[in-house]
Structure 1
Amino acid sequence: MRLKLTTGGPNKWRRHDVHATCYRRFRRRILQRSRREAPAVSTPLPTGRRCELTFDLDPVCQRLELDSPPRTHDPDQRLLQGKDQETVLDGDVSLRGFVPVPNTSHIISAKEWPVTENLPEQGWMWKAAVQECCHAQQTGSGVRRHDLQPFAVLHKAAVSLQGKSVMKLAAPSLQNDYYTNVLDCSCTGMVALALGSSVHLWNSETQTLVGCLSPQTGRLRHQSVSSLCWSREGSALCVGTRQGEIQLWDVEKNQNIRCLPSHLSVVGALSWKQHLLSSGSVLGRIHHFDPRTPAPLVGAAVQKAGICSLQWSPCDDWLASGSTDGVLHIWDRDIARLTRLKMPVTTMTQPSAVKAMGWCPWRRKTVASGGGWKDGELRIWDTQSGTCVTSISTNSQICSLRWAEAKRYLVTGHGLPHHQVICWNSEFPSLSPVYQFTGHSQRVLHLALNPDCTQVFSAGVDQCCHIWGL
């Protein structure tokens, strides 16, 4: 032991342990090392059993990307996303280049539209399908679902029977988002299915994968597809993204026709009226476009809640729009105005969002709608009087709805508890189930039918696509 004389008080001797000096020196060295390098461990506890934060956060990040639009680092995009209004209304923002709707009644093909020259800058490209042996990719224990190619055959029935599953295909990366519309079949039998940021085309007649529309590298590579719709003649495909962009593709020529920066929010639904295209966003804006003109925006309308379904009637006289607050609006065909004062012709309400909705092809002014998990009612509406003609409880969430004109059937896709597809015999004013297709393990978000209504295509959250025989 050694003694030291202190000067900060009365003269007296204090004892200091030699270990105190060693501890101060050790502490000083630890602090100096922590400033130069990574933080040092000053505790005797072992660190080998400490958990990585990313292990718990990665699955959460993946789930968030499925249900919310991806973030962009582009300054212009951040500026647009900060606005809460879309500039489509007169009285607030003046629109330049307004072109009235031409008074034509014939259907215009994609060949009559002006083709954009700067295709590489738009960030999307056409990819031909890679011919692979899809039949060898089965759902065995050694094959994971996300490793499968889109439309890979998982199961194929030996004999095609009515009311049974004809084929089961893989649909990897299908978004679990109730408010998307990413499956459609053209009048030529071409099935379009959006998986993440890519749109895959599958020929239902030849049962082959034809091609893929996918974004190139760059700032557009994270633009997830939220809606798509075939033109009525089947030559053009319209694709809407979560960033508010609309792409028009000529599938016959495999080229991009035009890029329409339509909305400042997610494009929830699309619908064609002959040569005119209508789109709806989650901010409640409806835009009408004529893609043949230099200034394509020719009309607009506004509703309070977000739009999750949009469809023109078969006679092109009315437009039905379903909103997230359970309101079904019916608009007239006079779209050549950009004003806040345009009002719907008829308004009908139900307890849940109107996402599953469709016009009856053979009954004028008749619309069917399905309720969500809080409702579960299948309703038939008379749009002229605004009343519900008939309704039936399905005791499950109705996620999608399609009319089969050739069979006079109504087809619905459901969620809990059975995740089934039901085919209804619509003999007005009653509804009775004809077939109940079971095979999905999770809710059936999307439905489509081939041109002759002999097959139903269903896509579910279980990342599978079934083909059912009618």
Structure 2
Amino acid sequence: MSSDQTPGTPHHGCAVPLLKRTPSRATISNSHSTRKRRRVSIASFDFETEIGVPTNPEIALEETDADRFLSTRSSSSIPLHTTPRTNRIAKSFGLIDDRVLNYSEGPLKPFEPKVRSLLRRSASELFYLPRSPSSVSAKANLAARKHFVMALDGPGISRDPFAFPMAWSRTNCIGVAFKSDVYYQNLETRAIVHLCRVAFADGPVHSIDWEGESKPHVLALGTTSGSVRAWDALSQKQIADWSDDKSPVGGMHWNENVLAVGRKDGRVSLFDLRTPKEISHTRGHKRHVHGVKWSPDGKHIATGDQSGTIHVWDRRANEYLTYNDKKLLAKHEGPVKAISWSPWQSGLIATGGGFPDGAIQIFDVNKLSVSSPPLVIKTFTNITSLHWSPHCKELLSTHGSSWTMSQTFHTYPPSGREAPTTPFTNSMTVHSYPSCEKIVSVIGHSAPIGHSCIGPDGCSIFTVSPMEETIKMFKVWSAPDEQGKEDGGGMIHKSTIR
């Protein structure tokens, strides 16, 4: 039998009306216009068959980490580009640089099973060892235990923000000035001793400082009337009196037997325990000298005054390294009280300014060059003291009141308004060097920190808040030989120094 039959013809010869099929859109001839041909979707083509990609149902069902709302380009897709019209729309909406219009490879390879990626990720996390902070750093000490170790009552401490009412000796004695009286406490025996009382005519005690390694039991004091005296804490007797000068005292600092004292008239007086008179003085400032610090080697003196000028005096050459503006090493926009020399790098110094400066400057006196500007840490807070760690490259700063940018060029604090706060307000903050990154910041007092001093071990800091009338000790660093030892920091002592 012949099977040739025309479509629409039944096998039994019955006449059935012929149905006319309507062509679909998919079978429309390509003879249409160019505009209609552009509308043909490319999704109807089987690219995997055309390029010879093997079909794998397991891989086709594999989950990916790609976002189903963001386009990703696989290895089997043709290049896709944005059109000029898309660019115009994106530009009008501000998305011209957005990732929505930027195609990128997916997070996984096209045919890589997800389980392998998870295994590799788990293995990398297993073998990754986070870098632990050094046991010497403040990150492992002050940051781990932010509470104070010891607290002392301090009623009557001078509220002058430029006073130096506290000092820590090499024999572990903490001395504190209360108006006209000076006390000290031996931190080993906890014995409190009233060292002396100055006459009413001398005015309150403005600054005190212990001698260094040669005579650690000698304490010097200076008053607001200009009197300067030295006392022996062991015999509790006065051993020197340099009260001929009537210019009020600023900061003071010992270098063996030589005591440098800042004056209100801009001078820096030098006294020697072996002589009854002033041995010499330097002139470089025009305003009250607040900050005075000898370098660790005793070759230079760094000084800062009320106007923010900083000078470094070379004792051997008997001249200033920064005598005029052409050689000016650093300049603050506010008074400078806080000065600290690095104990591990010769010539490295840090200075801090008060309102309206509020910045820490770090520089090297051996590189007097305009092309080598100092490192600057802006705090918008009064910087009251600075201390370098002798065990690591870290710098501690203490802070008082703060202000905002809008208040920088006006009188501070604004009348009738509460002073603003910043992350540095009333804090004790540790910075790394030379990155100047903040390591840890602790607010140990509810009021501004007026002054601080570092202990003989180079690990602990005493801070004083005159408004709060408290003195607190914090463990900031650890010595390298103290690793793994019990430091007794869990005990909190409460006592009074009067």
Scaled to the shorter chain, the TM-score interval is 0.5 to 0.7
The 3-state SS of whatever aligns with 1:401 is strand
In 2, distance between residues paired with 1:312 and 1:326? 18
User: Residue 448 of structure 1: which of 453, 468, 475 is its match?
Assistant: 453
Larger mean CA deviation between 206-215 and 302-311 belongs to 206-215
In 1, distance between residues paired with 2:151 and 2:282? 41
User: Residue 427 of structure 1: which of 424, 433, 436 is its match?
Assistant: 433
1:37-56 equivalences in 2 (<5 Å): none
Distance 1:285 1:205, change over 3 A: same
User: Residue 401 of structure 1: which of 371, 386, 402 is its match?
Assistant: 386
Distance 1:296 1:263, change over 3 A: closer
Report deviation, 1:434: 2.5
User: Residue 267 of structure 1: which of 225, 246, 249 is its match?
Assistant: 249
Show the counterpart of 2:376: 391
Report deviation, 1:288: 1.2
Residue 214 of structure 1 pairs with residue 197 of structure 2: yes
Distance 1:360 1:300, change over 3 A: same
Give the structure with higher Rg (CA).
2
CA root-mean-square deviation: 2.5
**Contact 2:285–2:309 under 8 Å retained in 1:** no
Report deviation, 1:334: 3.7
Show the counterpart of 1:414: 399
Q: Deviations over 1:296-352 (max 9, x none)?
A: 423433421110000110011111010110110011114879xx9x94775421111
What residue identity is the alignment partner of 1:403? W
What residue identity is the alignment partner of 1:229? D
Distance 1:294 1:197, change over 3 A: closer
User: Residue 167 of structure 1: which of 128, 150, 161 is its match?
Assistant: 150
**Contact 1:382–1:388 under 8 Å retained in 2:** no
Distance 1:310 1:252, change over 3 A: same
In 2, distance between residues paired with 1:226 and 1:198? 11
Distance 1:197 1:253, change over 3 A: same
Q: How many residues align?
A: 304
Report deviation, 1:197: 1.1
1:356-395 equivalences in 2 (<5 Å): 356-386=338-368, 387-395=372-380
Show the counterpart of 1:247: 229
Report deviation, 1:379: 1.5
Distance 1:262 1:383, change over 3 A: farther
Distance 1:262 1:269, change over 3 A: farther
What residue identity is the alignment partner of 1:240? G
The 3-state SS of whatever aligns with 1:173 is coil
Q: Deviations over 1:408-437 (max 9, x none)?
A: 432211112364333424332x12223322
In 2, distance between residues paired with 1:421 and 1:452? 22
**Contact 1:400–1:413 under 8 Å retained in 2:** yes
Residue 197 of structure 1 pairs with residue 180 of structure 2: yes
**Structure 1 or 2: more strand by fraction:** 1
In 1, distance between residues paired with 2:310 and 2:244? 23
**Contact 1:227–1:240 under 8 Å retained in 2:** yes
Report deviation, 1:286: 1.1
Report deviation, 1:199: 1.2
In 2, distance between residues paired with 1:162 and 1:213? 36
Residue 225 of structure 1 pairs with residue 205 of structure 2: yes
**Contact 1:330–1:346 under 8 Å retained in 2:** no
Distance 1:398 1:271, change over 3 A: same
TM score, norm. by length of structure 2? 0.57
**Contact 2:225–2:246 under 8 Å retained in 1:** yes
Distance 1:310 1:286, change over 3 A: same
Show the counterpart of 1:185: 168
The 3-state SS of whatever aligns with 1:413 is strand
In 2, distance between residues paired with 1:201 and 1:333? 32
In 1, distance between residues paired with 2:224 and 2:317? 25
Residue 468 of structure 1 pairs with residue 474 of structure 2: yes
Report deviation, 1:215: 2.6
Distance 1:188 1:407, change over 3 A: farther
In 1, distance between residues paired with 2:284 and 2:317? 12
Report deviation, 1:292: 0.6
Report deviation, 1:223: 2.0
Q: Which runs of 5+ in 2 are unaligned?
A: 1-142, 402-420, 477-498
What residue identity is the alignment partner of 2:474? W
In 1, distance between residues paired with 2:354 and 2:261? 22
The 3-state SS of whatever aligns with 2:160 is coil
Larger mean CA deviation between 350-359 and 261-270 belongs to 261-270
Larger mean CA deviation between 198-207 and 350-359 belongs to 198-207
Distance 1:438 1:208, change over 3 A: farther
What residue identity is the alignment partner of 1:465? I
Q: Deviations over 1:214-239 (max 9, x none)?
A: 135xx54x620111111112121010
The 3-state SS of whatever aligns with 1:261 is coil
Q: Which runs of 5+ in 1 are unaligned?
A: 1-159
Q: Deviations over 1:178-201 (max 9, x none)?
A: 111121111111111111111110
User: Sequence identity, in percent?
Assistant: 27
